[in-house]
Structure 1
C-alpha cells in the first residue's frame, strides 16, 4: 500500500531528483555521525591515558570505513550496471540505516572490553561498503535522466547539495544531543534515529522503477563486466580523473567539516557548541553554493571552473588555518565559509563531469570505484594525517599542508580532464 502511494507521488520523471535527494540526505547523515561524534567515541571505545592517542585510534577506525568503500563500489556498481540503478541505491540505503542503528546500540569498552572497538570496526567496514555506491550512483541516475544541453551540472549539483544537507542534519542532531550530555546514552540517539528513517528512504527509492532510459540501453547492448585489468588498460585517464576528484573532495570536506570538530575542541580548546555551530555554517555555505556554482559552470565551462577552484584551494590553505589558530570565532566562521565556497566551486561542475567519463554499460562501477579509491586513499586518511602532522611538531598550523595537497590533486585531475577532451562516451 505504501509503495502504491509513493509511486503515484513520484510518477513524474523530474521528481526522480527529489527521490534521490531524500536518499542522499539519509545516507550522508548516517556516515557523518561517526566523525562528528569522534571525541565522545574516543572516550567510550578507546580509553587511554592520552586523549591524543584515543583520538588517533578513533580516526583510524574512521579511515578503515573509507578503505572499505571501493569494495562497496564494486559490489553496488555491479548491481547498478547489471540490474538497474535504483535497485542498487535502494538496498545500499536500507543496509546503511540498519548498520548505523547497530552502532547506536553497541556496548562500550567498559561493558565488553576489547570486543567493543572490534565490533565498532566491523560495523564501520560494513558502513563503508554501503556508502561505496551511494553518492556517485545517485549522480549518475540524475545525469542520465535530467541533464540537458542547458543544465548539466545544475541538476547533479542540486542532488549533491541534498546529500550535504544530510551532513548538516547530522551536525544539528549532534548539537542537540550535546545539550543532554548528562544523560549517558544521549550519544546513541542520533545513530538509532537513522534506523527508522532508512525504511522511509528505501520505499521512496523503490518507487523509481528503474528508469526506462537506463534499462533500454542496458537491454539493447550486452553488459560489459567490470574488471580492474580492463579499467587500467582501457580507461586509465578517466580512472585517474575520478581518483583526483574523490581525493580533492575528500581532503577538503573531511578535513574542514569533520576533522575540524575535533581539532577546534580538543587541540585549540574552542567551546564545543561554538565549534560545531561554525562547522554547521561552513557546511551550509557549501550546500548553498553547490547549485549556484553548478549553474555557473554550465555557463563558463566545467574544467575552467574546476581549475580556478583547485588553484584557490592550494593558495588559500595557509590563510584558512591561520584563521583557525587565532581562536577568534568570527575568523573561524570565515574560514569555514571560505572552505565551503571553494569546495563548491570545484564540486559543482565535478558532479557532472564524473558522470561523463565512462560508457553507460560500466558507468556506475567505473565512476563509483574511481571516486571511492580517491576518497579512501586521500580523503579517508585526512583526520589521521592531520593529527599526525600536528603531533610531529605540536604546531597547529602544520595540517594546512594536507589541505594544500587537495589543491594539487584538483589541478592534476582537471588537467587530465582537459587533456582527455570533451569527446567523452555518453
Structure 2
C-alpha cells in the first residue's frame, strides 16, 4: 500500500532543495512588483512608460541568460555530479539578489547604476539556468519511489515564492510611507532573498550525490559532451520537452504576475480584493500540484498532461471574458485560473524528467526548461500589455493560455507517435 507521507529526513531534503525554486519565483515577483521603484531609481526618464519599459527589459535580460547557464551547468551536472553544481548555482543566485538591494542608484553614479543592475540580472539568470533543472534532476533521482510527490512539492515552492513576494510587498506598503519605499524599502525584499539562498547553500553542502548518477559514474557511462549527445540521439525528446514546458512558461507569469496589475489598473477591481485573490490562487494551485503529483503515481503522466492542457485551452477565454465583464467574483475566478495553471505545472516537470536517461538528464531538462522560459516567460507580461493596446480587446491575454495549452497537447501527441521512451519505467 502506498504511503502518502515522506520520511523526516526526506522532508528536510525536499525543503532545502526547493528553496532554490522558491527563490526563483520570489525574485520574479519582487522584481515585477518593485519595477516602478527600480524604474525611478535606475532609469529616470520624463516618459514614465519608457522608464518602466526599461526596467522590465532589464528583467527580461536575466531570462535570456538562462539557456546559456542551463547548457553549462547541465554539462557539469552530467559530467561531474548533481551535488557540486547544485551547491554552486544557489550561491550564484543568492549573492546577486542581495547585491541588487545594495546598488547605488542613477542619481549617485549615473549610467553605471543600470549597467550594474543589468549585469547582476544576467548573473542571476545564468545561475537560475542550472538551479531548477538541477533540483528536478536531484530530487527525482534521490527519492525515486515518490517522484510525483517531490516534483509537485518542488513546483509548489516556486508558486509559494511568488505568493510570499506579493505578501511581503503588501506588508511593506502597509508599514512604510511612499517616500520610504522609494528610498530604501524596495531594497529589503532583495536582501531577504539573498538570505534565503545563503541558508540553502549552507545546508546543501551536506547532501549526498544521487544514487543513479553514482552508478553511471562508476560504470564510466557518462556522456563526453551531453548537449551533443542530446541533439544527436534525443531530438524528439528535446522537442517534446520544450513544448510541454511552454504552458508553464506562459501561464505562470500571466496569471500570477500580470493579472494583478491588469485587474486593478486596467479593469479597476479593488486592489485589496485582487491581492487576496492572487494569494488564495497561489494556495489553490499548490494544492493542485500535490493532487497531480499523487495521480502521477497511479496514471500515465502523458495522459494527465494532455487532460490539463485541454482544460487550459477550453477555459482561457471564459476566464478572461468573466473578468472583463466586471461582474465576476474576482477571488473565485482567480482561484479557478490558478487551478488550471496548477494542472499543467503539476505534471509537466515530472514528464520532462522521465524522457531523458540519467547520463544526459540534467542537460536535457535544463535545455528544455530554460529555452521555454527564456522565449516566453520574461516577455509574456509585456506582450500581453501590447496586445491589449494594439487590439483594444481586454480579453486578448487569453491567447497566451490557449497557446500554452496547444503546446502541451502537441507535446503529448508527438510523444505518442514518436514512441518517446519513459526512462522512469525502467529505474
Please confirm whether the aligned pair reaches a TM-score higher than 0.5, indicating the same fold: yes
Q: 2:126 aligns with which of 129, 152, 161?
A: 129
Where in structure 2 are there 5+ consecutive unaligned residues?
1-6
Partner of 2:141: 144
Partner of 1:362: 360
Any idea what the Cα deviations from partners look like across 1:110-135, whole Å, max 9, x if unmatched? Answer: 43343333322221111111111122
Partner of 1:25: 22
Summarize the Cα distance change of 1:67–1:23 in structure 2 as closer, same or farther, 3 Å threshold: closer
Q: d(CA) in 2 for partners of 1:276 and 1:47?
A: 28
Q: d(CA) in 2 for partners of 1:232 and 1:301?
A: 26
Summarize the Cα distance change of 1:27–1:389 in structure 2 as closer, same or farther, 3 Å threshold: closer
Q: d(CA) in 2 for partners of 1:109 and 1:273?
A: 32
Partner of 1:4: none
Q: d(CA) in 2 for partners of 1:58 and 1:327?
A: 30
Query: Which shifted more, 260-269 or 393-402?
Result: 260-269
The runs of at least 4 aligned residues of structure 1 exceeding 6 Å deviation read none
* Residue aligned with 1:214, SS: helix
Q: d(CA) in 2 for partners of 1:265 and 1:181?
A: 21
Aligned length: 414
**Cα pair 2:81 2:213 within 8 Å, conserved:** yes
Summarize the Cα distance change of 1:54–1:311 in structure 2 as closer, same or farther, 3 Å threshold: farther
Query: Which shifted more, 249-258 or 390-399?
Result: 390-399
Q: 1:351 aligns with which of 349, 352, 355?
A: 349
Partner of 2:296: 297
**Residue 238 of structure 1: how far off its partner (Å):** 1.0
Q: d(CA) in 1 for partners of 2:334 and 2:40?
A: 27
Partner of 1:268: 267
Query: Which shifted more, 264-273 or 138-147?
Result: 264-273
**Cα pair 1:247 1:376 within 8 Å, conserved:** no
Summarize the Cα distance change of 1:422–1:395 in structure 2 as closer, same or farther, 3 Å threshold: closer
Cα root mean square deviation, aligned:
2.4
Summarize the Cα distance change of 1:255–1:397 in structure 2 as closer, same or farther, 3 Å threshold: same
**Residue 92 of structure 1: how far off its partner (Å):** 0.9
Query: Which shifted more, 265-274 or 405-414?
Result: 265-274
Summarize the Cα distance change of 1:131–1:173 in structure 2 as closer, same or farther, 3 Å threshold: same
**Residue 15 of structure 1: how far off its partner (Å):** 4.4
Q: d(CA) in 1 for partners of 2:259 and 2:85?
A: 33
Query: Which shifted more, 373-382 or 297-306?
Result: 297-306
**Cα pair 1:252 1:403 within 8 Å, conserved:** yes
**Residue 203 of structure 1: how far off its partner (Å):** 1.2
Partner of 2:172: 177
Any idea what the Cα deviations from partners look like across 1:384-425, whole Å, max 9, x if unmatched? Answer: 211211221343222221222111111111222233446334
* Residue aligned with 1:221, SS: coil
**Within 5 Å, which residues of 2 pair with 1:18-417?**
18-148=15-145, 151-179=146-174, 180-182=176-178, 183=180, 184-226=183-225, 228-327=227-326, 331-417=329-415
**Cα pair 2:212 2:358 within 8 Å, conserved:** no
* Residue aligned with 2:224, SS: coil
**Residue 263 of structure 1: how far off its partner (Å):** 2.2
**Cα pair 2:141 2:211 within 8 Å, conserved:** no
Partner of 2:4: none
Query: Which shifted more, 186-195 or 318-327?
Result: 318-327
Any idea what the Cα deviations from partners look like across 1:206-263, whole Å, max 9, x if unmatched? Answer: 1112234422322212421336554333211111112112221010001111122332
**Residue 271 of structure 1: how far off its partner (Å):** 4.6
Q: d(CA) in 2 for partners of 1:420 and 1:154?
A: 28
Q: d(CA) in 2 for partners of 1:331 and 1:202?
A: 42
Where in structure 1 are there 5+ consecutive unaligned residues?
1-9
**Residue 265 of structure 1: how far off its partner (Å):** 3.7
* Residue aligned with 2:349, SS: helix
* Residue aligned with 1:218, SS: helix
**Cα pair 1:69 1:373 within 8 Å, conserved:** yes
Q: d(CA) in 2 for partners of 1:395 and 1:49?
A: 28
